[in-house]
Amino acid sequence: MAFYAFYFTLYAQIAIGITFIPMWLRAQGLSETDIGTCLALAAFVAVIINPVVGLIADRTHQNKAILTGLVLCATVSVLVLGASSGPLWVAVVFLVYRSIVSPLVPLAESILIANLSAYRLSFGTVRAWGSASVVVTTLLCGFLVDWSDTGAILYLLIVILLAQIGTSTGLPSRAGGIRPAITTASILRALRNRGFLLLLGSAAISQACHGVFYAYSTFRWLEAGHSTSAIGIFWGIGVSAEIVAFACGGRITARLSPGKIIAIACCAGVLRWGIFGLSAELMPTLFVQILQGATLGLTQIGVAAYLQRNIAPQFLSSASGTYWAFSGLAAAVAIFVGARLYPISSSHVFLFSALLCGFATIVASMLTRYERGHSHGKAA
């Protein structure tokens, strides 16, 4: 139960960050452009931090200690954020907070993937608990904000981080067995594989488009006249679709290669972001949110399957950190572009995401062909 409990608290924290923190920042005097710039800068910082933390974790084998320490620091940073005043100071402290929490997902995934066999776990099942947490948290936070004000956002986030500290103590550090000496050179060699590079060019870009969605979707929905409670429900629908996808993750990976799974996710991204760019009204929104099962669920299922099958356990933290760093870099660029497009029209932001997923679809098809050739080579 340790993984289920931790993932529940991890994604509760993420739910607050991606759905309601932009709203809290705007209440502190930051404009949509300012918020987009802050999110882009945070993503750029993550490009450096995530691989470095992953490298340290792989070389020291102290994944759990590093993870718990980061959550402790994140809790302190949120307390400081709540006491901050003035848009500039709020933006600075927010960047510190985002820098601290950015390695949490890659670290958690490296621990989980390394222990899937030992604990007889399915990545999709554990990740579904995270998605269920997002549903509960977004609904709860949406109603709390409607009932009180945006101040409730940080209070809830602090409670969640404290729970995350407690649940992190039950995680294993890494799968048991022999721990070979790890060098920086050996890690870099493992990550220069062509298949891994194609994974970055497809799945990481598909993942990055969700960063754009998280940054600007709430504002687009508010612009269309939806209430914060309705927005919470929209997020709940999207994450419910994720849960279905993750629950079927074992069956999906048994029938499809990681490349094919990611290609389907990228195609769904073209459709999803294109529709949302054209309309944020109720019916299109409902369809767009159902597609989250494919755009996010299948992307993460495909990535986890690829890492489990192709990356040695001793390199998982670095591989996961590099993947999320590249995704963060792509998200930073896309969010930065979005900050310039949003004042012109919010629809342009999501049509741009659709174009990115079109490119990712092409790269995913190359990954599929690479997998096919690689499997034939092994058979020969």
pTM of structure = 0.79
Confidence of residue 178 (pLDDT cuts 50, 70, 90): very low
Q: Indicate whether 379 pLDDT > 50.
A: no
Query: SS3 breakdown of the chain: % helix, strand, coil, rounded to 5?
Result: 85, 0, 15
Q: Give the pair of three-digit tokens for residue 57.
A: 């974790």
Q: What is the pLDDT of residue 181?
A: 47
Q: What is the pLDDT of residue 176?
A: 47
pLDDT in tens, 32-62: 778 878 877 887 788 888 888 888 887 787 8
| Residue 52 amino acid letter | V
Nearest CA among 232, 237, 227 for reference residue 272: 237
Q: What is the pLDDT of residue 156?
A: 94
**Fold category of 2-172+184-379 in CATH:** Growth Hormone; Chain: A; (1.20.1250)
Mean pLDDT across 132-153: 85
242 touches 131 (CB < 8 A): yes
Q: Indicate whether 180 pLDDT > 70.
A: no
Chain mean pLDDT for the chain: 87
Using alpha carbons only, what angle is made at residue 290 by residues 287 and 295, rounded to the nearest 5 degrees? 115
Chain centre distance of CA 259: 19
Rg of the chain taking only CA atoms, in angstroms: 20
**Residue 272 to residue 280: CA distance in whole angstroms:** 11
Q: What is the pLDDT of residue 281?
A: 94
83 touches 154 (CB < 8 A): no
125 touches 52 (CB < 8 A): no
Q: What percent of the chain has pLDDT over 90?
A: 45
Q: Indicate whether 380 pLDDT > 50.
A: no
Query: 255 versus 139: which is more confidently predicted?
Result: 255
**Residue 2 to residue 135: CA distance in whole angstroms:** 20
Nearest CA among 342, 348, 365 for reference residue 32: 342
Three-state DSSP at 256 gives coil
Q: Indicate whether 374 pLDDT > 80.
A: no
Helix (H) or strand (E) holding 250: helix 249-255
Q: Indicate whether 12 pLDDT > 50.
A: yes
Q: Indicate whether 177 pLDDT > 70.
A: no
Number of C-beta neighbours around residue 18 at 10 A: 21
